[in-house]
Copies of this chain bind each other. A is one copy, B any other.
């Protein structure tokens, strides 16, 4: 049994709705209608349409910074209108509401213990459920109740087999080289890789065909416009350009190969612009 946290009254939204429509705003209207004291935080509405892995990554990078008892709602839902399940999960002291398409995979893998139900209690839905907008008709009214403390077991029946997507683990070569890939490209064109931060950093980083050098701790460690590898804020190695976009400069995107050898802890002396 995973203990259910007390509701914080906070709801986050992660969707692929973008900003040009009323979709996210209407979800907030429904949440307010069923729980006037819930507070809603937009985590991201610009997930690429139906990009389940991108939403999974954003959630993994974010959830632990929210107060215990927060309800994280994800509506990236290519299967809306089919028999795909809607899941509610307790883990890491928080609650998650999402379609059963793997979008919670990275969180579940990190959290270890979790408990899940399929949300079937339609008395918590809007009276009329559309075929295409469960964000409004199912997720929002259920989230409003979760933010008020409704318990997991009241929403439906236990689920032990959620759809799980594997986090792409880097491969280790005979000489210790890690072979990873770009898992996210952010607004600045930083290439976030799946190479976990190591105490000694990385040496000889290579992104696609470009030698990037050893990992640094400050963009200013290289000249403006130059490529560098940097210890990113999500605990992952990133490939960046000081004052520019690595995506554009290197012409690389998600899935691109990034190779690096583990550094030795304590070895690297801080370079220019680095504060160790």
State the A residues within 8 Å of B (CB): 8-10, 12, 16-26, 28-30, 32-33, 36, 39, 41-46, 49-50, 58-59, 61-62, 65-67, 70, 78-83, 130-133, 136-137, 186-188, 217-220, 230-233, 238, 243, 245, 273-275
Q: Using Cβ atoms and an 8 Å threshold, which residues of chain B touch A10?
A: 32
Q: Using Cβ atoms and an 8 Å threshold, which residues of chain B touch A62?
A: 22, 25-26, 29
- Structural contact, A82 and B275, CB atoms closer than 8 A: yes
Give A29 to B33 CA distance when docked, in angstroms: 23
Q: Give the Cβ gap from A92 to chain B, nearest Cβ, in Å.
A: 13
Q: Using Cβ atoms and an 8 Å threshold, which residues of chain B touch A24?
A: 42
- Structural contact, A33 and B67, CB atoms closer than 8 A: yes
Give A232 to B130 CA distance when docked, in angstroms: 7
- Structural contact, A219 and B78, CB atoms closer than 8 A: yes
Q: Using Cβ atoms and an 8 Å threshold, which residues of chain B touch A26?
A: 43, 61-62, 65
Could you write out 8 A-B pairs with CB less than 8 Å apart? Answer: A19-B44, A20-B187, A21-B186, A22-B58, A23-B187, A29-B41, A32-B39, A80-B218
